[in-house]
Amino acid sequence: MSRPGGVGTLAVPLLLAALLGLAAALWTWTRPGDPALYPGPADKPGVEIHILDNGFHTDLVLPRAALLSRPGPLAEAVRTLPPGDWVLVGWGDARFYVDRSPVQSRIRDGLRAVFGRDNPSVVMLDPELTDPRRRFAPAGRRSLRLSAAGFAALDTRIEAALALSGGRARLAVARPGDDARFFAGRESFWIGHLCNHWTAAVLNAAGLPVRPARSLTSAEVMATASRAAKLDRTARQD
């Protein structure tokens, strides 16, 4: 039996302190980028991409021509889309993400998507006719110039999220009156791997440093893009 003031008395506060320290370390931990991919050579044109934030969810906007230039299931899926020089790319829960009914009526399903485990996912591909710089306000958009190698790595990471059938992406949902197409995903959606975590992982594949735990929020993903854009500007000035 532990005596008052002995080891047993100290065990609980020490354990709490250790857990708090671990949580703080995870919250501040940065997964490093790859300088060979980002920002890339300043004398090369690179590939322009955009990141969108609607307040809680992030999407990527990628040039269609660049997606089509690399053969594979992702390019084949893009070819099935209606016209548009740009493609919005997003990821989310296979049910909640696709549903367009008012959010207030889907609170229960939202809780299921966040706190459940092994929820099926989808990858959204949505063609966009208008240049993102004109279509989306700067407050909810960040623009980046990826190196050719960085874009190739980003493309590969998105393609890896697709569930393939016979080597092709499998269409899960095509909503009536909507150009967006949702393809079955391989990854599970849950609180430890939400839409913003996914966007951050894709950007990390392109060479950007990210803070995985903080990427729970769309604001952190946008901050990641802002820091990367500043790094690119600095590299161009040197």
Confidence check: pLDDT of 154 > 70: yes
Query: 90 in a domain, yes or no?
Result: yes
Owner of token pair 């609607």: 54
Angle at 51 between CA 48 and CA 56, to 5 degrees: 180
Query: 98 in a domain, yes or no?
Result: yes
Confidence check: pLDDT of 235 > 90: no
Which region among 3-17, 34-48, 82-96, 203-217 has the lowest average model confidence (pLDDT)?
3-17
* Exposure of 135 in the CB half-sphere (CA atoms within 13 A): 16
Query: 216 in a domain, yes or no?
Result: yes
Confidence check: pLDDT of 18 > 80: no
Query: 150 in a domain, yes or no?
Result: yes
The predicted structure's pLDDT at residue 41: 82
Total structural domains within the chain: 1
Query: 3 in a domain, yes or no?
Result: no
Confidence check: pLDDT of 189 > 70: yes
pTM: 0.87
Query: 153 in a domain, yes or no?
Result: yes
What confidence tens digit (pLDDT) does each residue in 193-220 have?
Answer: 999 999 999 999 999 999 999 999 999 9
The predicted structure's pLDDT at residue 30: 83
pLDDT band for 12, please (50, 70, 90 cuts): low
Query: 23 in a domain, yes or no?
Result: no
Average pLDDT over residues 164-185: 95
Spatial separation of the C-alpha atoms in residues 66 and 86, rounded to whole Å = 9
Query: 1 in a domain, yes or no?
Result: no
Domain ranges, residue 170? 33-237
Query: Average pLDDT, whole number, for the chain?
Result: 89
What confidence tens digit (pLDDT) does each residue in 34-76 have?
Answer: 999 999 887 788 999 999 999 999 999 999 999 999 999 999 9
Reduced 3-state DSSP string for the chain: CCCCCCHHHHHHHHHHHHHHHHHHHHHHCCECCCCCCCCCCCCCCCEEEEEEECCCCEEEEEEHHHHHCCCCHHHHHHHCCCCCCEEEEEEEECCCCCCCCCHHHHHHHHHHHHHCCCECEEEEEEEECCCHHHHCCHHHEEEEEECHHHHHHHHHHHHHCECEECCEECEEEECCCCCCEEEEECCCEECCECHHHHHHHHHHHCCCCECCCHHHCHHHHHHHHHHHHHHHHHHHHC
